[in-house]
Amino acid sequence: MFRMVVTKMARNLNVNLCIFLIISCVDSCFIPDSIQAAVPQTVPVGHVISKVDVDNCDTKTLHLTSCDPDFTVQADGTIVTVHITMVPANGRTFSVQFQDPNGQKKNMDVYLVQNSRKVLKDGLLKRSKRRWSPLPFNIIENDAPPFPKEVDLVASDSSAAYNVYYTLSGPGVTEDPVGVFSVVKETGMLKVHRAVDREVTPQFIFQARVFDRYTNQETDLPLPITVNVEDVNDNAPTFTGQLQFTVLEQSKTGTVVGKVNAIDKDEPGTDHTKIRYSLLSGTNLFYINPETGVISTKTDTLDREVNDKHFVTVDIRDMNGALNGLSNTATATIVVGDINDNPPTFKKTSYNVSVMENQEKGLILRIPIEDKDLINTPNWNSEFIITKGNENGNFRMERDPKTNEGLIYLTKPLDYEKTKNLKLDVMARNQAELSGTNAKWVSIPVDVTVGDVDEGPEFTAPIVRFTVQENTPNDTLIGTYTAVDPETKSSAGIKYYKVSDPASWINVDESTGQLKIANTIDRESHFVVDGVYNVTMKAVDASRKTGTGTVIIQVEDMNDHVPDILSKDLVLCEKDGGEMGSVLVVAEDKDQAPFSAPFSFKLGEKHDDNWAVKPLNSTAVMLAQTKELPTGLYTVPLMVVDLQGFGSTQTVTVRICRCRNGACLAQQNSTSLGVWGILAMLLGLALLLLLCILCAFVCVTKNEKMELEDMGDSGGILLTSNIEALGDAVDSNLIIVPKSGIDRSVKGSVIDMGWAGAKDLGKMGGDLGTQQQSGSSVIVTDMQNGFSDRYNGSQYGGQNGGGQYGVDQYGGGQYASGNMTFDNTRFMKINWQTNGLFLQQKLAYLGTEEEGRYADDIIHAYGFEGVGSSAGSVGCCSDQVNQEDLDFLNTLGPKFKVLAEVCTNK
């Protein structure tokens, strides 16, 4: 069993049970300072804790009063439990207070420790080791030397059976802060070696152990030791936060100004940290709550205009303000806020100002003011109002933001003849309303004198309005516009002129001011806006002073325009399945109601019953087909009249066509020429291409001699010639152009000659060299390479491509500069057949393409070509009909006829 000797240092622990015992005893009565009792962990009701020896005391004067529900003290000093009580492992402590014979109150401490026991197997009870459960030790911070000092004694019950020694370990002993505590090994006395600061280390917890001196074996379990550092008042309170506050002037008594905040580092909850606040100055105006530090006003007479800032000294003292408490002082600044308790005042009692009549707008007077309130705030910023004399709006007032002065501006010129003097009342006020005062806004009079000026004439009215119907005859009087002298009120000597008349529609009589029509007035003119035409006039008196006025002419409308169709060229896209189409027709009338819309539409007298009119709105109709119509151009007469029945018949053109994206597809050139026309043109192009190839071949071979098979006729061979002169004339019998139609029986035609013609190619060549058709040309096309060139019919030879090939001797026999001979007729026939096959393949290829892909190259089949077409109706297979019919060659002209004769043998 361990026991702990507890000193008076443990008397400051929390008391769980307080039993107040008032004892009146005699001088021989003795009550011990403390007692210790061993109890079970759970103490039952009625258990006797201990008995206080009161045998020598006067028990008749003993009075017991229990304030704890768990324990009671009987009259004989016996302490008994009245409720089941738990005793913790570290024990339980309570105090009994009594009064000694001298009348002083004292405490007796009662310490309860657990009496633990363990049951053995044989049923006997054996006492077990108790764990160390000491009360915390206390030391005083910043204790004065000398050191070391004894704290308390730790003794173990095992010291009765063993020769023991004690050790300590942990913070304050072997850990930081090292060396604060130690223990006397032989006796167990705890010592402290230096002063401790509670604000740094308020508590130490370390471990005590007990060992046998001979075996070094522990004779008891380790015991935690707690040492509390008792606080001393070694820290003065300090201020926290700012000490600057604001309160409005004239605030009521008790208005909160602000709160002073302070802290103390000593132990909370003690008098060492209980701060009391007080004011050392400014107590006539302010008060501070001694416990909370809240500063309030003590009067309602604070005046910012007298003193706008107060400085008060605040004292803070701990120990609840006791004289031995530590203290600090600081100065708090209290700013007095402004309220608008001072209205602006004028420096003078009245003001006078002179203004000339007709004077331009501008500043005419400055009015200074004074205001005691805080500058550049709504309480100081002024506002000025003219309360009387400005009914016509001739003046306005503003504030100068820099000087706070009132500024009077003239906004409209004054007229001396109407008003020679004006008396104004000007009131000054602030942006903020007045408060805390009985004063009112003040006003002063301002006398405005108007000076006289010689003025120009004035029209009887600044603006005059006349109503005139358009197309009114010239020289018609529409009114009179005159002016008077403002001083004499007379019109004598005043002349009138136009300043502005954009369309020159009006004449002004210089002497009388009469207005007459000079030119026809047209309401639909761009000079008229919303039916109004303006003329500006000028009046000039004898002194050359002028005045201006405006004449507004309201132009009345006449029905002088008929409805007109806006777009007369319309497009109607052809629809599939025989569906009837329609187009929109819109009309416009420059007149206004009731001389314009709604319009009436109907077909003209000479319409063809192919169209019908369907109303859409007041200005438009739909022109719709009544029957299926082929593509083409159609004219439709339409009669359009306005609401009054005035109108005319107009013709619109409707184009029916195949469309793409709302637009007609491009027309094909091939349909206008016909298939045989295209073939004829391609034939000529192929022949010219052949000639170009031959010329290129001759240039390449240069002087090499080539023998060509002569088929018995050398008339088609070209001869080498340096002659650049004209060729031989062509026999007139070779050029026969039928006057009408084509007849195979006509002698001299190409068909009649059976493509034989004249074999005298020299004559043909001579004819080619002439310029019988000025400006004519032949297109030579390379069908494989897409190359084309144009040769002028009058200069087929010459220097083309660098060579010299005279066509004046086309039938001579030598084709180029070299010696070449060949059967011209056979060569041309072979090329004719080759090109014919190529053209047939080309036509077949193009016929397989989509309609829109090669719109310029494809031959389309149409069932109807329209009225008047020279080609007539073209069927889907017309390009294969009459392939042997060559009558069209008779209409190709003399040059194509010569080519045909060249390319044809007998």
Q: Residues near 268 by Cβ (< 8 Å), separated by ≥ 6?
A: none
For residue 285, the model assigns a pLDDT of 95
Beta-ladder partners of 386 = 426
pLDDT of 847 > 90? The answer is no
Mean pLDDT of the chain: 75
Q: 238-337, superfamily in CATH?
A: Cadherins (2.60.40.60)
Helical axes 675-701 vs 894-902, angle rounded to 10°? 60
What are 475-530's pLDDT values in tens digits?
899 899 999 888 777 888 889 999 999 999 999 998 898 999 989 888 888 898 98
What CATH class does 137-230 carry?
mainly beta
21-57 b/e with 16+ CB inside 10 Å = b?
Answer: bebbbeeebebeebbbbbbeeebeeebebbebebeeb
Q: What are the DSSP calls for 454-497, one per residue?
A: ----EESSSEEEEEEETTPPTT-EEEE--EE-TTT---TT-EEE
How many CA atoms lie less than 13 Å away from 494 in the CB half-sphere?
A: 28
For residue 882, the model assigns a pLDDT of 47
DSSP 529: B
Average pLDDT of 124-145? Answer: 66
Token pair of 240, please?
Answer: 């926290």
What are 724-777's pLDDT values in tens digits?
445 554 444 444 444 434 344 333 333 343 333 433 433 333 333 333 333 333
What are 640-686's pLDDT values in tens digits?
998 888 888 899 999 989 888 778 886 544 444 555 667 777 888 88
What are 254-294's pLDDT values in tens digits?
999 999 999 999 999 999 999 999 999 999 999 999 999 99
For residue 848, the model assigns a pLDDT of 54
Beta-ladder partners of 217 = none
The percent of residues above 90 in pLDDT, for the chain, comes to 37
For 3-127, CATH gives 2.60.40
Q: Phi-psi bin for 166: left (phi > 0), alpha (psi -120 to 50), beta?
A: beta
Helical axes 675-701 vs 824-846, angle rounded to 10°? 130
Cα maximum dimension of the chain: 188
Provide the residue type at 857 as one letter: D
For residue 890, the model assigns a pLDDT of 60
Residue pair 266/235 in contact by the 8 Å Cβ criterion: yes
Q: Residues near 254 by Cβ (< 8 Å), separated by ≥ 6?
A: 296, 297
pTM of the predicted protein model: 0.42
Token pair of 494, please?
Answer: 């005043």
Confidence band, pLDDT 50/70/90 cuts, at residue 80: confident
pLDDT of 15 > 70? The answer is no
Task: Please state, in angstroms and rounded to a whole number, the distance separating the CA atoms of residues 283 and 312.
Answer: 8
As a whole number of Å, the end-to-end CA separation of the chain is 161
- For residue 415, which of 467, 339, 358, 457 has the smallest C-alpha distance? 358
What are 16-37's pLDDT values in tens digits?
333 333 333 334 566 677 778 8
State CA 399 to chain mean position distance.
38
Given strand 477-480, what is the order of strands in its sheet? 477-480, 514-517, 506-508
Q: What are the DSSP calls for 94-156, one per residue?
A: EEEEEE-TTS-EEEEEEEEEE--EEE-TTS-EEEPPPPP-PPPEEEETTPPSS--EEEEEEE-
Residue pair 426/387 in contact by the 8 Å Cβ criterion: yes
Type and span of the H or E element at 295: strand 294-297
Task: Please state, in angstroms and rounded to a whole number, the distance separating the CA atoms of residues 443 and 426.
Answer: 5
Length of the chain: 906
Type and span of the H or E element at 834: helix 824-846
What are φ and ψ of residue 696, in 5° steps? -65, -40
The domain spans of the chain are 3-127, 137-230, 238-337, 345-451, 458-556, 564-665, 672-899
Task: Please state, in angstroms and rounded to a whole number, the distance separating the CA atoms of residues 141 and 133.
Answer: 24
Helical axes 894-902 vs 761-768, angle rounded to 10°? 150
Task: Please state, in angstroms and rounded to a whole number, the distance separating the CA atoms of residues 865 and 670.
Answer: 12
CB-count exposure of residue 547 (10 Å: 0-12, 13-18, 19+) = buried
- For residue 551, which of 433, 466, 660 has the smallest C-alpha distance? 466
Type and span of the H or E element at 182: strand 181-183
Residue pair 117/127 in contact by the 8 Å Cβ criterion: yes
Spell out where 474-610 has E strands: 477-480, 483-484, 495-500, 506-508, 514-517, 532-540, 546-556, 564-565, 569-573, 582-588, 600-603
What are 59-78's pLDDT values in tens digits?
555 555 555 667 777 767 77
Residue pair 684/899 in contact by the 8 Å Cβ criterion: yes
For residue 531, the model assigns a pLDDT of 87
What are 515-568's pLDDT values in tens digits?
999 898 888 888 989 889 999 999 998 888 888 999 999 888 778 788 889 888
pLDDT of 455 > 90? The answer is no
CATH assignment of 458-556, among 2.60.40.60, 3.40.225.10, 1.10.340.30, 3.40.720.10: 2.60.40.60
Most confident of 601-610, 715-724, 781-790: 601-610
Task: Please state, in angstroms and rounded to a whole number, the distance separating the CA atoms of residues 137 and 570.
Answer: 118
Same fold, 137-230 and 345-451: yes
Task: Please state, in angstroms and rounded to a whole number, the distance separating the CA atoms of residues 777 and 771.
Answer: 11
How many CA atoms lie less than 13 Å away from 771 in the CB half-sphere?
A: 7
Question: Which fold does the domain 564-665 belong to in CATH?
Answer: Immunoglobulin-like (2.60.40)
For 706, the 3-state DSSP assignment is: strand
Average pLDDT of 77-82? Answer: 78
Please give the residue that has the higher pLDDT: either 54 or 757.
Answer: 54
For residue 822, the model assigns a pLDDT of 42
CB-count exposure of residue 463 (10 Å: 0-12, 13-18, 19+) = exposed
Q: Where are the alpha helices (DSSP H) in 650-760?
A: 669-673, 675-701
State CA 89 to chain mean position distance.
74
What are φ and ψ of residue 197, in 5° steps? -100, 115
DSSP 224: E
Confidence band, pLDDT 50/70/90 cuts, at residue 779: very low
For 757, the 3-state DSSP assignment is: coil
Question: Which fold does the domain 345-451 belong to in CATH?
Answer: Immunoglobulin-like (2.60.40)
Q: Phi-psi bin for 280: left (phi > 0), alpha (psi -120 to 50), beta?
A: alpha
For residue 378, the model assigns a pLDDT of 95
Task: Please state, in angstroms and rounded to a whole number, the distance separating the CA atoms of residues 8 and 105.
Answer: 16
Provide the residue type at 695 as one letter: C
Query: The dihedral of CA 366, 368, 374, 379: what is its sign?
Result: negative
Confidence band, pLDDT 50/70/90 cuts, at residue 178: very high
For residue 705, the model assigns a pLDDT of 45
Q: ω into residue 462 within 30 of 0, thus cis? A: no
pLDDT of 249 > 90? The answer is yes
Please give the residue that has the higher pLDDT: either 45 or 852.
Answer: 45
